[in-house]
Amino acid sequence: MTNSDFIEQTRLLVARTQQGDHKSFAQLYDMYVNQLFNFGLRLTTDRELLKDCIHDVFVKIYVKREELSEVVNFRSYLFISLKNRICDELRRLVFGSDVQVDSLQRVAEDADVEEDYLRHEAEFFQSVKVESLLRQLSKRQRQAITLYYMEEKKYEDICVIMDMNYQSVRNLVCRSLNRLRELAMAV
């Protein structure tokens, strides 16, 4: 599944979830739960706490599903929500209550979250733009660029996959990259 297909499927499932479709919500959960778990392990080693936080995020999403139309990038929203939930839970455990720590610290965290969200948004729009540009290349050019840059294959591996000689593959990758640059400059 390409990135744009994944994004489109997510968009469709979010829209159906907003309408109360339980199956679509379950599919969203299944699509993202492992990614969120792996991300969360970078923030805490407490697996049970992490599972609880992931479930809390999805419960909140379902309860406030009507507000999902305001979310531009659902994936970024999920990751930022999980990060915030873990931070809140760890803070509660450390300080023994639900009382917010220091308002200045919260403002600083909010700024970090906003920066993270903006960075994720920029990455999202950049990936959409790159996919749009890639679609304008020939099939072989797109395959060469995908294999070399996205799948990080070596030229030797690409030779085997594309049934081409080494120099032809290098030339194709170079010409494809030049064509991408031309297309990007025209936009």
Q: Over the stretch 17-70, which tens digit does the pLDDT of each residue have? A: 888 889 999 999 999 999 999 888 888 888 999 999 999 999 998 888 888 777
Q: What is the pLDDT of residue 111?
A: 47
Dihedral angle of Cα 72, 36, 83, 26, to the nearest 10 degrees = 60
Overall fold of domain 1-108: Rna Polymerase Sigma Factor; Chain: A (1.10.1740)
Q: What is the pLDDT of residue 93?
A: 75
Written as six digits, the tokens of 120 are 């994720």
The proportion of the chain whose per-residue pLDDT surpasses 70, expressed as a percent, equals 79
Task: Report pLDDT for 72.
Answer: 76
Same fold: 1-108 with 116-184: no
Enter the tokens of residue 171: 């030339």
* Boundaries of every domain in the chain: 1-108, 116-184
Asked whether the predicted pLDDT for residue 108 surpasses 50, the reply is no
How much is the pTM? 0.52
What's the rounded mean pLDDT across residues 125-130?
A: 71
- Right CATH for 116-184 from 3.30.230.10, 3.10.20.740, 3.30.565.10, 1.10.10.10: 1.10.10.10
